[in-house]
Amino acid sequence: MAQTQYTEDNIRSLDWKEHIRMRPGMYIGKLGDGSSADDGIYILLKEVLDNCIDEFVMGAGKTIEISIQGERVIVRDYGRGIPLGKVVDVVSKMNTGGKYDTRAFKKSVGLNGVGTKAVNALSTFFKVESTRDGKSKSAEFEIGELKKEELLEETARRRGTKVTFVPDESIFKKYKYRNEYVERMVKNYVYLNPGLTIVFNGQKFHSENGLKDLLEDNNNVEDMLYPIVHLKGSDIEIAITHSKTQYSEEYHSFVNGQHTTQGGTHQSAFREAIVKTIRDFYGKNYDPSDIRKSIISAISIKVMEPVFESQTKTKLGSTDMGGGLPTVRTYINDFVGRQLDNYLHKNPDTAEKLQRKIMQAEKERKELSGIRKLARERAKKASLHNKKLRDCRVHLDNMKNDRRLESTLFITEGDSASGSITKSRDVNTQAVFSLRGKPLNSYGMSKKIVYENEEFNLLQAALNIEDSMEELRYNNIVIATDADVDGMHIRLLLITFFLQFFPELIKEGHLYILQTPLFRVRNKKETIYCYSDEEKSQAIEKLSGKPEITRFKGLGEISPDEFKHFIGDDIRLEPVMLDKAMSIEQLLNFYMGKNTPDRQKFIINNLKVEVDLVEDNQL
């Protein structure tokens, strides 16, 4: 066997931008096309915004302006402005930045000095402009390479920093910014920074009441069991209520303004502190699951030099608060134990409603205990025999945290469809759950049905969401059904299930619909897959002549080799989002409740009749 040569010629050094472009996942997590809230294009925006937020926290600049028009992103703050002599270095030299000096940034979001460098390296166009002391300086880059540097000039413009960038489409394939995701990010920033105004594409966002506003904006106030408990300290803020109808726990956690979507040491300590405080207050050793059932809450803490478990900062790993304060766990336990206890003593109505809720949860849990035990055993047995779930290696091999952001579960119906996806998938990050027929309409049913119905029980077990979203096994849950009436009905039934019992999955942007092509248009030289009649017409025009046209009627008709395109780099996902104008109960009642004149009118007004011209040979 010939040996591979290993000499000095095999050794090469990458400069900063080459390393970022070769390993972007190390810096911004997953890439994506913008269909998911944690896709890379939003991380680029967040990295720039974090610098603006740090300026506000340091008392410089109360307004941030964001403009996104197509691919171009512009972010302008009115902070102190980057020191003019360091404008180029700050965005193009690794380990360079003001945040290493804790005198300037005491409790910053990011301390690694990488953020804007990653944005620069992953953009086909990047421009930074700084204005301070009546002077300004700018620099333009292409894929991290300096192309133009403007000398200092006098200006009457207000001080601050302006960054313009265009993400590189060769890295972020066919990307598109979704206003809903940007607005959610912007809202979180203003909730955590009362007094800050962010203007996004002309719309102003502002918050006076912090995390209290967050809970009110994300939930139906009428569904809250008692008024939101809103407590603040110098380095901590919490907001708590319980839902009248929701089953599982819901947490929003933040560290130094960073949304820690995967929780971490602070969220774990918060959950623990709530249980201990309530047990002590009532003098009852209530089960933790009964206390936390239906809880809707948020916590924000500030930590000196926080340590996160990944570059994307979605999970806190720090155990210490820093600055001479105790551990994160002790600090949160002390604050919640003191402040929440005081609140409950001063608000007996809330205390009484909460205790009744806990006792009701205890009663329901005991009634379900036998069923839950049997359901777990069935789920374990099914898992052992691999009947329903074909898992991915991100769990089996305990892969790095950043790859967990890519973890995806496809929920599909029928052996042929699940077989195609199973053969085509990336076994590292993509899993498949096979449904047997149409799922049950769960509208109006109690949680008992989740354990009694085999499909729901096994799906819940596969996702690991029985009591909390904290250990959710897949970041992306994708409903993959045929694009016909039956497939649409299955989608609706699954969405109803999640809305009824696990609405946080949808609120937090984990649920998607897989878009698969309706047509294949090809000639001897080229094949084009089309997702609409319009795309089909364009493909026919492009290929000219009389290309072969195939109408896909079901996922099972698409070969595994073809399917690789549709669940690989070219995957198209449509996020399932909640309409804030309607509560979940109103939404379910309208679509899944008894037929009403309003729904009949809605169906008639939105009815689409598709004539299959392909099948009738009328093309």
pLDDT at 312: 63
Nearest to 52 by CA among 176, 157, 199, 175: 199
pTM of the model: 0.81
User: Mapping DSSP to helix (H, G, I), strand (E, B) and coil, where does residue 415 land?
Assistant: helix
Cα 12 to chain center, whole Å?
37
C-alpha 18/C-alpha 117 separation (Å) is 11
Q: What is the mean pLDDT of residues 270-274?
A: 95
**Residues found in the chain:** 619
Answer yes or no: is pLDDT of 614 > 50.
no
Residue 36's contacts (CB-CB under 8 Å, 6 or more residues apart) are 30, 476, 509, 512, 573, 575
pLDDT at 103: 44
DSSP summary character for residue 471: T
Give how far Cα 157 sits from Cα of 43, 124, 151, 160, 247, Å. Answer: 29, 27, 16, 9, 53
pLDDT tens by residue, 574-603: 888 876 655 666 666 666 766 667 666 665
Amino acid letter, 374: L
Q: What is the mean pLDDT of residues 163-173?
A: 93
Based on the number of CB atoms within 10 Å of its own CB, is 307 exposed (0-12), middle (13-18) or buried (19 or more)? middle
pLDDT at 486: 83
pLDDT tens by residue, 291-300: 999 899 999 9
Based on the number of CB atoms within 10 Å of its own CB, is 610 exposed (0-12), middle (13-18) or buried (19 or more)? exposed
**Burial readout 319-341 (b: 16 or more C-beta within 10 A, e: otherwise):** ebbbeeeeebbebbbebbbebbe
Per-range mean pLDDT, top range of 160-164, 366-370, 426-430: 160-164
Answer yes or no: is pLDDT of 113 > 70.
no
Q: What is the mean pLDDT of residues 570-577?
A: 86
Alpha helices in 140-229 (DSSP H): 179-192, 211-218
pLDDT tens by residue, 312-347: 667 787 777 776 778 889 999 999 999 999 999 999
**Whole-number average pLDDT of the chain:** 83
C-alpha 350/C-alpha 10 separation (Å) is 69
C-alpha 449/C-alpha 551 separation (Å) is 38
The domains located in the chain, with CATH, are 16-206 (3.30.565.10), 211-365 (3.30.230.10), 386-516+552-578 (3.40.50.670)
Q: Which of 112-121, 425-434, 530-539 has the lowest mean pLDDT?
A: 112-121
**Contact at 8 Å (CB) between 375 and 368?**
no
pLDDT tens by residue, 509-520: 899 999 888 888
